[in-house]
């Protein structure tokens, strides 16, 4: 009877000690986290800068194109797509301020297939901006050209320059 109890305890410990393998969709998923405004003063010229933060997860970990590495210059593939909107007369209107960003190449994981993390993207605001309320829509694309879900910031009020 003692031997049976020892075998059951060993099997229980073996089964509970194994790491549960998490599986996620091969289509990237993103979730808006926050947007922070800052001002920077360069040679007495004040710029409004925004920092868009969001979380991401990709089930097969194929984020970032090798073409965007430091060694390749001519074949860049934009993999963060951001569209800017300005509030005019109560409606958000798409502006010409689209921001396409290059992500670094992320090699496939050794221990896990998926890739999860947080991104922080710097956005320079138009210095001629006369309207003070903006919004951004954004998504990412993986190496299989899968587009993530589309996320949006809330309404953002651009602070006055000091």
Please say whether the dihedral angle defined by the alpha carbons of residues 138, 104, 107 and 52, taken in this order, is positive or negative: negative
pLDDT confidence of 142, banded at 50, 70, 90?
A: very high
43 or 36: which leads in pLDDT: 36
Q: Is the pLDDT assigned to residue 17 strictly greater than 60?
A: no
Give the range of the structural domain holding residue 117, as residue numbers without chain letter: 24-157
Nearest to 87 by CA among 129, 38, 36, 39: 129
Distance CA 92, CA 26 (A): 32
User: What's the confidence (pLDDT) of residue 24?
Assistant: 85
CB neighbours (10 Å) of residue 90? Answer: 6
Distance CA 29, CA 63 (A): 11
Can you give the CATH number for the domain in which 52 is found? 2.70.50
Structural domain count of the chain: 1
Q: Is the pLDDT assigned to residue 88 strictly greater than 80?
A: yes
**Residue 4 domain-assigned (yes or no):** no
């Amino acid at each position: 009877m003692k031997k049976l109890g020892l075998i059951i305890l060993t099997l229980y410990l073996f089964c509970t000690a194994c790491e549960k393998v998490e599986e996620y969709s091969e289509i990237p998923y993103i979730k808006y986290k926050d947007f922070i405004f800052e001002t920077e003063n360069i040679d007495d010229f004040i710029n409004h800068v925004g920092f868009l933060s969001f979380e991401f997860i990709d089930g097969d970990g194929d984020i970032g194109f090798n073409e965007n590495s430091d060694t390749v210059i001519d074949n860049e593939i934009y993999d963060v797509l951001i569209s800017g909107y300005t509030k005019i007369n109560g409606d958000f209107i798409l502006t010409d301020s689209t921001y396409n960003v290059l992500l670094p190449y992320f090699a496939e994981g050794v221990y896990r297939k998926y890739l999860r993390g947080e991104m922080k993207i710097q956005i320079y605001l138009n210095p001629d901006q006369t309207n003070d309320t903006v919004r951004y829509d954004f998504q990412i694309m993986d190496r299989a050209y899968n587009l993530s879900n589309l996320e949006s910031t809330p309404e953002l009020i651009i602070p006055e320059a000091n």
